[in-house]
Amino acid sequence: MNAVEGWFLTLLNLVVLGTCLYALVDAVRRPAAAFVAHGKLTKPIWTGILVGAILVALLLGFFSFIGALALVAAIVYLVDVKPALSGTNNW
């Protein structure tokens, strides 16, 4: 692997980690009652899923099967749960 590929893979792993961190910060800032009110998993469950995703992204990186699942978990939160909760945003 040459230097360009190494930098690209590092950048891709950082993007995955950043996506997981963004999803976690958003989940932590939302009120717990909003998750249940909109029929989503509870706040502690989503927080645990996203913390696990961050740990996987840090330890295994994106280029493992479990690493890809970490990215999928963050994307599911961002495209399904976050829009449902956007009406209860208190930013």
Q: Give residue limits of the domains in the chain.
A: 3-88
pTM comes to 0.88
Q: pLDDT (tens digit, 9 = 90+) per residue, 57-73?
A: 999 988 888 989 999 99
Residue 64 gets which letter from DSSP?
Answer: S
Q: pLDDT (tens digit, 9 = 90+) per residue, 4-32?
A: 999 999 999 999 999 999 999 999 999 99
Question: Rg of the chain's alpha carbons, rounded to an integer?
Answer: 15
- Secondary structure of residue 27 in the 3-state scheme: helix
Residue 40 gets which letter from DSSP?
Answer: P
